[in-house]
A and B are shown apart, each in its own frame.
Chain A
């Protein structure tokens, strides 16, 4: 789920930070630049882990600030394919489910990846439906705010669109697609009850 990635970056240090310790000033600038941002193919930056080296202080002609070359390590959120993660249901629509981890909201379970056989029922609210799994006579529902255990199927980094089509969903730099069509996956409480009955 979390990986370390080493990055080299030439950082401009604004002059008003020169009164701070160099380490603190660079750390602050790096956090401002990278935290909560997605780097393509690396994932979502969660935190700056450490600063390896700060070197090459120079001031370019006509510049009012020093430029440094910094090598540092970031903690990246990058799920791998096949990983099992627990997340909360954010939206439930005819296309499937949208899940949230609290810090990352672009996890989608397409409707063909819901447990089979499942069906939907229209909800009172516009655009939202309720999904039900019906393995036998019993029916299990997936409700909003349910904790869901899902398996990662793919992680995509879509390109920034030059033209945004109308009525499209907001652009997300990183999208995770998941599946809950397997034993043990789906809302956590489905399987807890099974255990209690068995034991």
Chain B
């Protein structure tokens, strides 16, 4: 094995999720085990679907990247903001400290908000969410 290029570009969570979807992964339990799917990829899919990436759109992300140019942010920072989608100043503060207010406002306008209610770790609500989602896709 020879490593030709260790870093041939970064992907954000949304792009990885789209790639897995194009390979036939879905949240529907009945479709599991069909086609060319592997368990390890399913674990990644399950994690990503519950992150903000699950509701984002390519257009929204592109627009956000374009608008970020005025703030002079690094690629890593922009990637991190898209992946975590901070909803308030306190959440974005660990990523960037400057222009936090403007950025949060911009995130609210451009990036699609996660539709799921607050991800509080209550097992009951999580289960209901999963059920209603399945009903929607059936």
Residues of chain A touching chain B, judged by Cβ–Cβ distance below 8 Å, are 1-9, 31, 35-36, 39, 41-42, 46-47, 49, 71, 73, 75, 77, 80, 82-86, 101-103, 143, 145-147, 149, 151, 182-185, 187-189, 191-192, 194-195
Contacts and interface: CB of A to CB of B under 8 A. Distances in A.
Contact of A42 (B6, B88, B123): B6
B51 to A, nearest CB: 7
Contact of A7 (B1, B19, B40, B120): B1
Given A9-B1, A35-B40, A3 B76 contact: no
B2 interface: yes
B40 to A, nearest CB: 4
Contacts of A184: 86, 90-94
B3 A5 contact: yes
A38 to B, nearest CB: 12
A5 B88 contact: no
B121 interface: yes
A161 B10 CA distance: 32
B16 interface: yes
B interface, size bucket: 35 or more
Given A6-B4, A84-B94, 18 more contacts: A1-B12, A1-B13, A1-B79, A2-B16, A31-B38, A47-B19, A49-B19, A84-B95, A85-B84, A103-B44, A145-B121, A145-B123, A149-B91, A182-B93, A182-B94, A183-B93, A189-B121, A192-B120
Contacts of B8: 3-6, 73
A177 to B, nearest CB: 16
A119 B118 CA distance: 27
Max count, chain B CB within 10 A of own CB: residue among A1, A75, A146, A183: A1
A5 B94 contact: no
B53 to A, nearest CB: 10
A83 B80 contact: yes
A189 B120 contact: yes
B20 interface: yes
B128 interface: no
Interface string B12-40: 11011001100100000000000000101
Nearest to A77: B44
A71 B94 contact: no
